[in-house]
Structure formats: C-alpha cells, structure tokens
Amino acid sequence: MRRKLAVLALALAATGCDFYYNDIPSPDDAMRLVPWFDGMYQQPPVFPYQRLDVPRNTVPGTVPITGGEADWAAEFGMGNTTTADKLVNPLAGQPASARGDTLFQTFCAVCHGQAGAADAVISAQVAAPSLLTDRARGYSDGYLYSIIRYGRGVMPRYGDKVRRDARWEIVNYVRQLQAAAVAVTPAAPGGAN
Ligand code: HEC
C-alpha cells in the first residue's frame, strides 16, 4: 500500500496536475460517447401550450394578467366615442393618487404643463391644448382614458407605457387639476392656449 502511494506521488511530481486537466478527457466528452446520454443533447422540443386538445382554462380564483382588454383603437381613431364613453372608471370618486401625479408629470406635463394649463415650454410648438378648458372638463372619464391609451392627432399614444389602472389614475389626476383650476376658454381648434 505504501509503495503504491509512493508511485502515485512520484507520478504526480513528474507530470504535474496539468495531466489531469489537459490529457484526461473531460467527463462531458465521455458522456457524449454514451448513446443514451447523447439523447440529452438532442431532445425533441416540447411545446406544452400549443396543443389544441389540452384545455387552458383559467384556474378558479385567478385573473388573467395579459390580454383581456378590448381594443377600440379604430373606432376611437375615427372620432367615434361610443365605446370610450361607456367605460366605467373603477377609481371614480377616489382622490387622485400620488402615482397619478407622478405619471402625469412624467408623461403629460412636458406638453400640457405641470398643472395642465398648456404652459410648458413646448406646449405652443406642439399645439397641446389646456386640459382645464370646459371642453376638456366635458369629456367622459372613458374618453380621457382612451386618449391616454390611443393618443389623438398629434398627441402620441401612451397605452404602451401606462397600463390600465395607471391610466385611470392619470384620469383622476387630470380631474383633480380641473377641479383646482378656474375654467378657461378653449383655444381655437389646433391652436394653443
Ligand atoms: C407630445 C406632446 C403631448 C403629450 C406628451 C401629451 N399630449 Fe395630450 N395632447 C397633445 C396634443 C397635440 C393634443 C391635441 C390633439 C388633437 O389635436 O387632436 C392633445 C390633446 C389632449 C387632450 C384633449 C384635449 C381637448 O381639449 O380636446 C387630452 C385630454 C390630453 N391630451 C391628455 C393628455 C394626457 C393625460 C397626457 C399624458 C398621458 C398627454 N395628453 C400627453 C399633446 C400631448
């Protein structure tokens, strides 16, 4: 036994550890030589969600977090407000949230001004109207929600950046700005206040 150990120690001393790293095949290479293991590298793909015969019903007690919301972009884009006006604001009657404030300052204030009065530096250049006019006050909550989601004319859409609840929070914030301000006369169409 002691002699075997001595031989091993000698072999190590003579060849160094490199032998084990460079000259002995890696266990991974050895695995590939075994046909059964080879199958692990070449498995057929499985698409568990693509079979029509597998029911994908919503689990009771859960709600879908994607899809679901109807799309009335075409209708709204043509100036038809039927669907928009029918939307129910789930936050109706609630005070504006801090998040609504933050989102408005992030996405809207650059064109409509910090208080919605169209007094931002670029308000006139982009012809962004005041949100404190009687006209803007007269829109339904659903209309404000839709214009945030889809944009209108020169105003870009924000639906891809602001999700559902957050849009309603912006709506409530606009309502709060309107309540805090005295109504001003709307600008001529396309003009800036
Ligand atoms: C890039 C500048 C810009 C930004 C940012 C912007 N808007 Fe507008 N907004 C406009 C312009 C321009 C119009 C006028 C569009 C038109 O002529 O149809 C408008 C129109 C509106 C109107 C209709 C006003 C009216 O009297 O008819 C509302 C309401 C409104 N925006 C709300 C918002 C809200 C809320 C946000 C933030 C999510 C926002 N806007 C972000 C440029 C902008």
Q: Please, which residues bridge with residue 5 across strands?
A: none
Regarding the beta carbon of 120 and ligand 1, being less than 6 Å apart is answered no
Q: How far apart are CA 80 and CA 142, in angstroms?
A: 12
The residue among 155, 47, 57, 141 whose CA lies nearest residue 94 is: 141
pLDDT of residue 85: 96
Q: Are residues 165 and 103 in the same domain?
A: yes
Q: Are residues 91 and 174 in the same domain?
A: yes
Question: The whole model's pTM is what?
Answer: 0.69
Q: Are residues 28 and 114 in the same domain?
A: no
Regarding the beta carbon of 187 and ligand 1, being less than 6 Å apart is answered no
11 domain residue, yes or no: yes
Long-range contacts of 79-88 (CB under 8 A, 24+ apart): 81/140, 81/142, 81/143, 81/146, 83/142, 83/146, 84/140, 84/142, 84/143, 84/145, 84/146, 85/140, 85/142, 85/143, 86/142, 87/140, 87/141, 87/142, 87/145, 87/146, 88/142
Atom nearest to 143 CA in ligand 1:
29
Q: Are residues 91 and 145 in the same domain?
A: yes
How many domains does the chain contain in total? 2
Q: Are residues 84 and 168 in the same domain?
A: yes
Q: How far apart are CA 87 and CA 152, in angstroms?
A: 18
Q: How far apart are CA 142 and CA 81, in angstroms?
A: 9
CATH number of residue 113's parent domain: 1.10.760.10
Q: How far apart are CA 43 and CA 174, in angstroms?
A: 56
Domain that holds residue 21: 2-41
pLDDT of residue 70: 87
126 domain residue, yes or no: yes
Regarding the beta carbon of 126 and ligand 1, being less than 6 Å apart is answered yes
Q: How far apart are CA 53 and CA 27, in angstroms?
A: 42
77 domain residue, yes or no: yes
Show pLDDT as tens, one digit a residue, over the chain (193 residues): 567 766 656 555 556 567 667 777 777 777 777 766 655 666 777 776 666 676 666 677 877 676 678 899 999 999 999 999 999 999 999 999 999 999 999 999 999 999 999 999 999 999 999 999 999 999 999 999 999 999 999 999 999 899 889 999 999 999 999 999 875 555 555 544 4
Residue 22 is given by DSSP the state: I
pLDDT of residue 3: 72
Q: Are residues 79 and 37 in the same domain?
A: no
Regarding the beta carbon of 153 and ligand 1, being less than 6 Å apart is answered yes
Q: How far apart are CA 52 and CA 9, in angstroms?
A: 64
pLDDT of residue 22: 72
Q: Are residues 31 and 90 in the same domain?
A: no
